[in-house]
């Protein structure tokens, strides 16, 4: 369906990746503004829309009845013009919710599709349910256990109403996993994540496909992580979760959750052909060890992903560093009149924002 409304914003994705696209679509819906994105995923080896980005675009269009141009593989220019189901007394958009099914057709990331939908919670009038088929644990995206055991619980603390069910895992290259996001109407609260508090518990989630069960991959990943973690003499409580899951592709994943009094951080590694399972656990543990030496309240990836929720609800978040994703998101949010304040705290930063989207 071709858009006829002139775009409010013309955005340049030349120096950004898929997260820029996902955030831009969400902001367009929240503001009920038409956008055009040029040079989509311009800094990637294969720019333009891949299967997972096309799935996000088409799903967002279906949820908000948007008119779109450029909904095809490889497209480097996209126009997106949302149409809300209704508007509130203050003119803010409202969406009906409903049930949707999405087939990404490849091992494209299911969790990144779900990530794109989460910021819509404040404008939902009824629950949204999206069942997606694709990759649940694949490169360049949060593994399923990171999404449902780290990100969702943290956001639920600040008012998000969301849960994720998994039917089967999907690893690279075949994908074929299936999961369902349940997202309810929610009024988000201000994020208070400046101080993380004491480390209270460490949880490890290790998953193997059924085809790898005879090699004890999930158990060996856990053992590798535990042997490498540097928790000190006053080590917190430990919880171990081992899962053998049906999947059309062999694969594995390990996620470590560091649970502080206030903050939370997650670190993940995916199984690789030819790499011992113990090494996968060690890789995730090495990242966790580096974080243990810092004072940030969330890990680097959450630091990227929480900026749009700061725009929605306001608050303060201490992040490990200004990554390329943070820079791109900051510039994008400023285009939509969301001001973020960055305060240096040694090598880390505290990001502050007032609620800016008036929902």
Residues assigned a catalytic role: 325
- In the beta sheet, which residues pair with residue 179? 132, 166
344 Cβ contact list (under 8 Å, min separation 6): none
Q: Which two tokens mark 196?
A: 């993380």
Question: Using H for helix, E for strand and C for coil, what is the string for the chain?
Answer: CCCCCCCCEEEECCCCCHHHHHHHHHHHHHHCCCEEEECCCCCCCCCCCCHHHHHHHHHHHHHHCCEEECCCCCCCEEEEECCCCEECCCCCEEECCEEEEEECCCCCEHHHHHHHHHHHHHHECCCEEEEEEEECECCCCCCHHHHHHHHHHHHHHCCCEEEEEEEECCECCCECEEEEEEEECCCCCCEEECCCCCEEEEEEEEEEEHHHHHHCHHHHHHHHHHHHCCCCCCCCEEEEEEEEECCCCCCEEEEEEEEECCCEEEEEEECCCCCCHHHHHHHHHHHHHHHHCCCCCECHHHHHHCHHHHHHHCEEEEECCCCHHHHHHHHHHHHCCCCCEEEEECCEEEEEECCCCCC
- CB 281 within 8 Å of CB 224: yes
Distance separating alpha carbons of residues 72 and 135, to the nearest angstrom = 20
């Amino acid at each position: 369906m071709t858009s006829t409304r002139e775009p409010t914003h013309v955005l340049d994705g030349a120096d950004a990746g898929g997260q820029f696209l996902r955030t831009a679509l969400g902001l367009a819906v929240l503001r009920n503004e038409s956008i055009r994105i040029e040079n989509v995923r311009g800094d990637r080896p294969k720019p333009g829309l891949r299967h997972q980005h096309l799935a996000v675009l088409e799903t967002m269009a279906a949820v908000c009845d948007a008119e779109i141009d450029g909904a095809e593989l490889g497209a480097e220019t996209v126009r997106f013009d949302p149409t809300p189901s209704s508007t509130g007394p203050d003119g803010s958009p409202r969406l009906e919710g409903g049930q949707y099914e999405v087939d990404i057709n490849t091992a494209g990331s299911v969790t990144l599709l779900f990530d794109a939908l989460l910021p819509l919670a404040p404008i939902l009038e009824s629950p949204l349910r999206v069942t997606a088929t694709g990759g649940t644990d694949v490169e360049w995206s949060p593994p399923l256990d990171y999404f449902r055991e780290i990100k969702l619980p943290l956001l639920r603390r600040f008012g998000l109403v969301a849960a994720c069910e998994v039917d089967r895992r999907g690893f690279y290259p075949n994908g074929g996993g299936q999961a369902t996001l349940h997202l309810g109407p929610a009024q988000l609260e201000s994020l208070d994540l400046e101080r993380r508090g004491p480390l209270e518990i460490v949880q490890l989630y290790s998953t193997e496909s059924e085809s790898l069960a005879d090699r004890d991959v999930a158990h060996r990943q856990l053992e590798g992580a535990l042997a490498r973690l540097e928790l000190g003499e006053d080590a917190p409580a430990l919880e171990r979760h081992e899962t053998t899951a049906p999947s059309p592709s062999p694969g594995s994943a390990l996620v470590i959750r560091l649970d502080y009094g206030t903050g939370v951080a997650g670190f993940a590694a995916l199984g690789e052909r030819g790499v011992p399972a113990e090494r996968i656990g060690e890789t995730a543990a090495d990242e966790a060890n580096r974080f243990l030496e810092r004072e940030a309240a969330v890990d680097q990836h959450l630091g990227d992903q929480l900026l749009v929720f700061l725009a929605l609800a306001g608050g303060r978040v201490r992040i490990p560093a200004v990554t390329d994703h943070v820079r791109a998101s900051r510039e994008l949010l400023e285009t939509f009149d969301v001001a973020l304040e960055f305060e240096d705290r040694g090598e880390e930063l505290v990001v502050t924002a007032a609620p800016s989207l008036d929902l």
